[in-house]
Amino acid sequence: MTAKPAPGQTDPVAIDSASGKAAAAAPPANPLWGGRFAGGPAEIMARINVSIGFDQRLYAEDIAGSKAHAAMLGQQGIIEAADAGRIIAGLDRILQEIEQGCFPFKAELEDIHMNVEARLAELIGPAAGRLHTARSRNDQVATDFKLWVRAALERCDAGLRDLQAALIDQADRHAATVMPGFTHLQSAQPVTFGHHLLAYVEMFGRDRSRLRDARARLNECPLGSAALAGTPFPIDRAMTARTLGFDRATANSLDAVSDRDFALDYLAAAAIAAVHLSRLAEEIVLWCSDLVGFVRLSHAFTTGSSIMPQKENPDAAELVRAKSGRLIGALNGLLIVMKGLPLAYSKDMQEDKEPVFLADDTLGLCVAAMAGMVRDLQPNPTAMRRAAEQGFLTATDLADWLVRVLGLPFREAHHITGRIVRLAEDGNRRLAELELSALQAIEPRITAAVFDVLTVEASVASRTSPGGTAPARVREAVNAARERFL
């Protein structure tokens, strides 16, 4: 069975005119390097080499970079001003065609750069051939990709800001809602639900700072580095950098075309943000369980079961938790692509875009879903407080009281408190339910004043150190978070 040619390709089988036998037809030479190559690539080479299926997402950045380059070439007298004008007008027409969905992307032209250039030639004729003066696809794609990643960083920052706003609003409403705080997933000390949510506000704040750092580092323009060594044409790199919103031109042409640190920076920040999203998603899954029951999600963010009609599954949270694997994998994949590459450009670097595009799609979806879930959360303060009453969560408050009031060394107070906890456990009672005489049998100097610190409300109210869980501190932190992040 003879394979059919892919759309846009010539049939690889032809008839030899001399012998009348089937013979392999030479595919047409690529328009980029037809002067050097007598024939085109094998069908499988074309398939592995083509990137238009994914890099067409760079169309706006490619056109913006080409317009800036053409304007600079005209300004410098490297090409005629009239040609520069025709090129820019043609590029505007192409942008309009793509955005209207009527641009004919062609696989045989490999990538977004050649698709745009070929269409430009159709529109304006030979003047289109002047556009590539003093540049290479190497500096062209590095510039396009930087512009795209810069926009992705800004999109992610905006999404995380919205998520922080949702968390801060919930924290404000629940600044005094008592719940158990955990270490090792064991009940440890009482905290407030608002305090717990603000911890994630800080995490996502650090994520946003990483995004800002990454944006600042990438904001140097590679355009004008050409293939690897620069160009003999009298270009104005500062002009193109400024036109495209970069702070400056890159300092070294070899580094400029082979650098993908900006993509790795983005993926590293995305992977860490995904870990934070996954941690919050895991807590929501736990909180929604019937065994815990701290919160509920509405049917907007839950699904049912095909067999158990009573089920309300927190699938949105579970999927956010799972999708962190994609983002971590994207970072690992690009690190492996880059780890062994000598300077300057290698075709391996064509593999840089798909993991970044996947990360942008996945992270944007997960951040938006998490913001929706946080706004949708319906806390159950009764269940939270009931859980905070279990497990002797005010034991540390008792030890602190022995230190503060009786002047005991903390280690001795810790030991005495441990004996009192064991007494309460043996009697199946809470610390606040023990008789004063029982406490005094262990430490005679204990007075009735100790009961003032053994309620969960007293415990959280006492944690007034900066960053602590006292409701007054939480409200202050909410206000401060609004100022810092929103």
Residues designated catalytic: 184, 305
In whole angstroms, give the CA distance from residue 409 to residue 403. Answer: 6
Alpha carbon distances (Å) from 200 to 46, 204, 314: 47, 6, 19
430-433 LR contacts (CB < 8 Å, sep 24+): 430/389, 430/392, 430/454, 431/392, 431/394, 431/395, 431/398, 432/394
How many alpha carbons lie under 13 Å from residue 486 in its C-beta half-sphere? 15
Contact of 179 with 385, CB cutoff 8 Å? yes
Helices (H) and strands (E) in the chain, counts: 18, 8
3-state SS assignment for residue 375: helix
Q: Which residues of 71-84 are buried (b: 16+ CB within 10 A; e: fewer)?
A: bbbbeeebbeeebb
In whole angstroms, give the CA distance from residue 228 to residue 344. Answer: 6
Residue partners of 95: CB distance under 8 A and separation at least 6: 59, 60, 63
Backbone angles phi, psi at 249, to 5 degrees: -85, 150
In whole angstroms, give the CA distance from residue 464 to residue 468. Answer: 6
3-state SS assignment for residue 136: coil
Helix 193-218 to helix 137-173 angle (10° resolution) is: 160
Residue partners of 322: CB distance under 8 A and separation at least 6: none
In whole angstroms, give the CA distance from residue 30 to residue 49. Answer: 12
Chain position carrying tokens 């706004």: 375
In whole angstroms, give the CA distance from residue 371 to residue 99. Answer: 30
**What are the tokens at 249?**
């031109």
In whole angstroms, give the CA distance from residue 45 to residue 436. Answer: 85
Residue partners of 227: CB distance under 8 A and separation at least 6: 136, 138, 139, 257, 344, 345
Alpha carbon distances (Å) from 184 to 15, 139, 289, 455: 75, 51, 19, 23
**What are the tokens at 453?**
């610190």
Q: Which residues of 217-240 are buried (b: 16+ CB within 10 A; e: fewer)?
A: ebbbbbbbbbebebbeeebbbebb
Kindly provide the residue ranges of all beta strands, DSSP E only, lying in 185-269, ordered along the sequence. 186-192, 220-221, 248-249
